[in-house]
Structure 1
Amino acid sequence: MKLYWFTFLVLSIVKTSSAARGFSFENLGSFCKNDTPQGTPNLLPIETGAPRLIRNVENGSLYQIGVGDDQTWLVHLWGKNGYDYGFAYGTLLGEQIAQFMPKVYAYFEKEVTEKLEHLPIPESLKELIAKKGLAFALDVQNSFVEPYMDEEIYNEIRGISDAANIDYKLLVRIHMFGELTRAHCSYYGAWGKATLGGKTLQLRAFDWDMHAGLQDYPVITVYHPLSSKLGHAFTNIAWAGYIGVLSGMSSSLLGMTSIGVELPDDTFGDESMSGQPFIFVSRYILQFSETVDDALSYISNVRRTCRLIVGIADGKLNTARMIQYSHSKVSFFDDVNLQPAAEWHPTIPNIVYNGMDWLCPSYQYKLYEQLMSEYGKITAESTIENISAIVKTGDVHVAIYDLTDNILYLANGGSPNKQGPKPAYQRQFNKLDLKIEYARSQPSINEIENFH
């Protein structure tokens, strides 16, 4: 067995629930066989204040949005190459990156070390992992994906490393975690007669390990390319120093989301750790694809790696798709042929959706119920109030993309240092008009000097 496979086994322990490989309801993961989730509506007002400028640097500007404990950093980056992006990013948020990256890495390393002996793998493999350590395993993982990576990604990480004075290898290793762990999340793409006014909307509810502390360092990054090799402008919704895309929107009116799969059925293909990591497949689509058709073509042809459910919505073509994604097989679904075909996952005209996992009846059906309760009048506001909060999905963050008007609504989870409820779906949302953000100009020398 190659090392990347037992690296995958080791790191599977940081998933939010244990994997189950049987497919009867009784054998589903614990969170998927619970009683149907029933949360309370989120009635908090949406914060609509304009971003507040903090400072300018060469190729970058730093803003804040939100109030109180629901503030989020907003970073604007301009560049002719990845290094330009990274150096400006590291200059603007060096302190936050230097705090967050070692902290999150230490958390994962502790989890692996403490649970290694309980993993269901041969003793010889446990011994090798124990001797070589997590850093070794992640470096090997990087060696398998590097041939499929855009060099500008590594250049961007190098720029962050240089500006924030943080270990380059540490940053690369943390970007390998996304390939080896699976977040349980929920998604819908809705359009046409499903939404108020026929808008194209997308829900991205990110459910993961709240103990890792991602929600303490939220960052929205807006990229402004100054060279055609960097594609077009796009937005990444992530955390300090993290440049892979798990949630994001583009200036071409595309929205991206992904859901980790722990509970597949036999319609999925196999997995491989050799290929383009999915966080950079998602980024490529936001950075370069003009329509959902471009995105589906790219997914068809790229060397894929792990099992996922991918959601893409397109505000230009006014439609959305759900993708069953794996190394050896990919399938595309619309509102007519949506899978899995089950009584707990009915089709809905002009909506594609998935709740938490592939085989997850409780969340799938609850999401269906809430979508139907709002059908024909779904808005970003009704999603916040009566969909994500009632389904109880999106603890780390919840993003709603209005892809008709290119507006982002975002809430981040709480922590022991924040007042109020912990899950993001119960917290205040910030509204950000990306049309305004994409139109921002690169700071001039005078504007930079004024902040010195």
Structure 2
Amino acid sequence: MFSQSRLYYLFIGLFLVIQTSSSYKPSSIKNLGAFCANDTSHGYPNLNPIDQSQPRLINKVENGTLYQIGSGDDQIWLIHVYGNTGYDFGYAYGTLLRDQIHKVLPRAWTHFQQEIIDSLKDLKLPKWFENIIVNQGLDVALDFQNELVKKYTDEEIYNEMRGLADASQIDYKIVTRLHMLGEITRGRCSLYGLWGNVTLGGKTLQLRALDWDVDAGLQDYPVVTIYHPRTSKLGHAFANVAWAGYIGTLTGMSSLRLGISEIGVSFPDNTFGDESMSGLPFIFVERYILQYSETLDDALSFISDVRRTCHLILGVADGKLGTARMIQYSHSKVNFFDDQNLQPLADWHPRIPNAVYSGMDWLCPSRQYKLYRAIIDQYGQITPELSIKNITSIVKTGDLHVGVYDLTDNIMYVANARGTDEQGPKEAYNRQFVKIVLNIEFARQQ
């Protein structure tokens, strides 16, 4: 048995070495910048023990219960919300996290106002939208964007934001504006979906590493929200990883063992379609998948049919089916990839059996190849713990937060960046992860 196993992995290794493509070469790609073209540095293993302590009850109100998880400087608010309407969810959330919302949202808004003005030329926004920001202000621009997307967005999303604003007594417009920011700022991130022979025991694992702004103070108040709908019109239970006051989905898992990941694309190629400011914001596309989709096929059908907006790479994995897909996403085109047709196919982004992956961007040779090597170096042995130790920290991805999903057993591992006045490494991928057993959390009664 031992020799057969060794021969199998030798075969896989030879397959991956032989597999090359002339589709892209780093030297032939223009305007990548040093970030994607030249960074070959590696980090160090994350040797922090994973926190497995039980949630600690903090407070309880109608339709909501607040806990804390983690320890020391790596604590996370864990909030359960229950309801028949989005407003029920939002009001319970805003009541339990009122203080945290008041500390994080105004500060984040002030930061992003200046940050976007300073980075305007790099954001590649439509000229007309850029002119609104310059001449009338970011608040006016985001209010206008909200009007463009409103008809595509579920009314219950707005009801939830209204409930949050009413209960926390914060300006409703600040809440809606912050939820529009993702469409124009996006973020460099990484993802993988692994299954079958690539993981230890054949588990279905998924990575969502969020590389975004660590200077806005979002990480001071990290929140995992467990939604418990009391009516089928609100879907099924799911977990959303974000910050106080943010109900859009960037990271999360559902009670039906679906996981979501996302990467903003700054370096597309001509296989992408165009972009639009009018459609369903991607943070609500991702949320819909967790809240309403029952299978991978449901999720892919929704992505295919929805009015999409910007250039992205999405990842969706299904622990029930034991597989994952990567999606090339834009307003006018969408392409779906498995391990057999993964793109872009290049010597710096080879295909891996039983895996889909993307590091930081689409045309991003050095970052893509680092993630490829990290997966290959652990091929056949990958667990959530090993991924935390030897993948995200070595590749150096996930500075704001990292989610590693065990979709076979419905367990999530989460880490956040160092908060203000906290000690230790700055980046989430170098900090202590907290283990959340979602089967227990989804079953919690109020």
Per the normalisation by structure 2, the TM-score is 0.91
- Show CA shifts across 1:361-396 (max 9, x none): 111111111101111111000000000000000000
**Residue number in structure 2 paired with 1:249:** 253
**Aligned residue number for residue 19 of structure 2:** none
Q: 1:232 to 1:35 in 2, by over 3 A?
A: same
**1:178 counterpart letter in structure 2:** G
1:289 to 263, 284, 293: 293
CA contact (8 A) 1:23 1:265 kept: no
Paired-residue identity, %: 64
The structural deviation recorded for 1:415 is 3.5
The 2-side partners of 1:322 and 1:379 are apart by: 20
SS of corresponding position for 2:215: helix
1:316 corresponds, among 317, 320, 339, to 320
Distance in 2, Cα, partners of 1:115 & 1:357: 19
Query: Residue 213 of structure 1 corresponds to which residue in structure 2?
Result: 217
C-alpha contact (below 8 Å) 1:37/1:363 kept by paired residues: no
Q: Which ranges of 4 or more aligned residues in structure 1 deviate by more than 6 Å?
A: 117-127
Q: 1:220 to 1:23 in 2, by over 3 A?
A: farther
Q: 2:417 aligns with which of 403, 413, 416?
A: 413
Cα deviation per residue 1:283-314 (whole Å; 9 max; x = unaligned)?
00000101111000000100000110000010
Instruction: State yes or no: 1:334 paired with 2:322.
Output: no
- Would you say the 8 A contact 1:139–1:173 is kept in 2? yes
Residue 162 (structure 1) aligned to one of 161, 166, 187: 166
The 8 Å contact of residues 312 and 321 in structure 1, kept in 2 or not, is answered as yes
SS at match of 1:395: coil
CA contact (8 A) 2:123 2:184 kept: no
Structure 2 counterparts to residues 11-410 of structure 1, below 5 A: 24-25=28-29, 27-114=31-118, 129-410=133-414
SS in structure 2 at match of 1:104: helix
Cα–Cα, structure 1 residues 353 and 122, in superposed 2: closer, same or farther, change >3 Å? closer
Distance (Å, rounded) in 2 between the aligned partners of 1:307 and 1:122: 13
**Aligned equivalents of 1:344 and 1:119: distance in 2?**
26
How big is the shift at 1:127?
A: 6.4
Aligned partners of 1:122, 1:294: CA distance in 2, in Å? 32
1:12 paired residue number: none
Is the Cα–Cα contact under 8 Å of residues 47 and 66 in structure 1 kept in the other structure? Answer: yes
Checking the alignment, whether the CA contact within 8 Å between 2:129 and 2:141 is kept in structure 1 is no
Are the equivalent residues in 1 in contact too, given 2:123–2:185 (CA < 8 A)? no
Structure 1 pair 430–116 and aligned structure 2 pair: CA distance change class (3 A): closer
Q: CA deviation at 1:54?
A: 0.4
Paired with 2:411 and 2:39, the residues of 1 have a C-alpha distance of 34
Residue 27 (structure 1) shift: 2.1
Q: Is the 8 A contact 1:29 1:263 kept in 2?
A: no
In structure 1, list runs of 5 or more residues that go unmatched. 1-21, 443-452
* Structure-2 change in CA distance of 1:129 and 1:49 (3 Å): closer
TM-superposed CA distance for 1:212, in Å, is: 1.6
Are the aligned partners of 2:132 and 2:140 in contact in 1 as well (CA < 8 Å)? Answer: no
Letter in 2 for 1:162: D
Q: Alignment RMSD, CA only?
A: 1.9
Give the direction of change, closer, same or farther, for the CA distance of 1:81–1:121 in structure 2 (3 Å limit): closer
- C-alpha distance in 2 between matches for 1:241 and 1:348: 38
Q: Residue type matched to 1:202 in 2?
A: Q
Given that 1:185 and 1:260 are in contact with CA atoms closer than 8 Å, whether structure 2 keeps it comes out as: yes
Count of paired positions: 421
The CA deviation string for residues 311-357 of structure 1, in whole angstroms up to 9 with x for no partner, is 00100000000000000000000000000010100101000000000
Bigger CA drift: 324-333 or 180-189? 180-189
Q: Classify 1:285/1:23 alpha carbon distance in 2 versus 1 (closer, same or farther; 3 Å).
A: farther
- Whether the 8 Å CA contact 2:125–2:184 is kept in 1: the answer is no
Question: 1:78, 1:263 → 2: CA distance?
Answer: 41
Q: Structure 1 CA distance, aligned partners of 2:206 and 2:314?
A: 12
Distance 1:128 1:246, change over 3 A: closer
What is the deviation of 1:84? Answer: 0.1
Cα shift readout 1:171-198 (whole Å, capped 9, x = no counterpart): 0011000111121000010001111111
> Could you tell me how far apart the structure 2 residues matched to 1:399 and 1:115 are?
28
Which SS does the other structure have where 1:188 is aligned? strand
SS at match of 1:400: strand
| Amino acid across the alignment from 2:112 | F
Amino acid at match of 1:104: A
Work out whether residues 184 and 357 of structure 1, in 8 Å CA contact, stay in contact via their aligned partners in 2.
Answer: yes
1:450 equivalent in structure 2: none
- 1:232-279 Cα offsets, whole Å, 9 max, x none, are 000000010100000010000000011000000000000001111110
Runs (5+) with no aligned partner, structure 2? 1-25
